[in-house]
Amino acid sequence: MPDPISLVDLTSLNDDDTAAVVDALCVKAITPAGPVAAVCVMPQFVATAAEALDNTGVRVATVVNFPAGDDDPDGAARDTAALMDEGADEVDVVAPWRAHLAGDHEAVGRLVAACAAECPGHLKVILETGSHEDAVATRAMADAALRSGATFLKTSTGKHGPGADLASARILLEAVAAHDGPAGVKISGGVRTRADAEAYLQLAEEIMGIAWASPFTFRFGASSLLDDLLATRG
């Protein structure tokens, strides 16, 4: 099992964030146990994070169509392109999950394909799994996102309803396992302790195999998890 620290997307996505908050987050990302995978910040702070993390190996992630998940492929694609130009390495885009639940089963694919064309690297698609109990819909959205160019499936924004849970994580992992191509899973929303992280890693090992999880295939989106991982490190 990999060190969970190396899988953390250290995150601050608050409306009252400032450049000083982001600078402090970037300093925190380089831990005594090694760097985290990425720092995830609001779009207006991408350039700040890119400058602070230059030559550290820590990637810069940001969010698009966040947190609402509107059915706006053109707008999401424009924002993705602009943020890549500003220095983002990864984009976490909220899928139009409400449109899917309302019966438009092409909505997720349309938006993901539009964003994938502008983000050839890590495009993480947020399915907001905690906001509904329809496992069939979650799997359908996961499959559509993967077919349309997602490189990661992500559980939730943490802004709507419950966050991640093991049942939803299993659906996303099983979708990745069935996908004809490399892809990953990001667990976000309520992952706060080493025990939480290890439960998800054990699930990933069960479905994907022992050597599968790495920063290229598995992430934790969290703000407080890193503190517990450092405090409980053996």
28-71 pLDDT tens trace: 999 999 999 999 999 999 999 999 999 999 999 999 999 999 99
pLDDT of residue 31: 98
Percent of the chain residues topping a pLDDT of 90: 94
Residue 154 pLDDT greater than 90, yes or no: yes
Residue 19 pLDDT greater than 80, yes or no: yes
pLDDT of residue 199: 98
Is 89 in the active site?
A: no
Residue 97 CB coordination number (10 Å): 24
- Is 115 in contact with 80 (CB distance < 8 Å)? yes
Residues 6 or more apart whose Cβ sits within 8 Å of residue 131: 97, 156, 160, 161, 162
Catalytic residue among 92, 124, 196, 228: 92
pLDDT tier, 161 (very low <50, low <70, confident <90, very high otherwise): confident
Residue 141 CA to residue 126 CA, distance in Å, equals 10
Chain mean pLDDT for the chain: 97
Is 165 in the active site?
A: no
The region, left, alpha or beta by phi > 0 then psi within -120 to 50, assigned to residue 128 is left
pLDDT of residue 140: 98
Residue 73 pLDDT greater than 90, yes or no: yes
Is 124 in the active site?
A: no
Residue 130 CA to residue 170 CA, distance in Å, equals 13
Average pLDDT for 135-163: 95
Question: What does the pLDDT look like over 100-117, one tens digit per residue?
Answer: 999 999 999 999 999 999
H/E stretch holding 115 reads helix 107-116
Local structure of 41: helix, strand or coil = strand
Question: What does the pLDDT look like over 168-193, one tens digit per residue?
Answer: 999 999 999 999 999 999 999 999 99
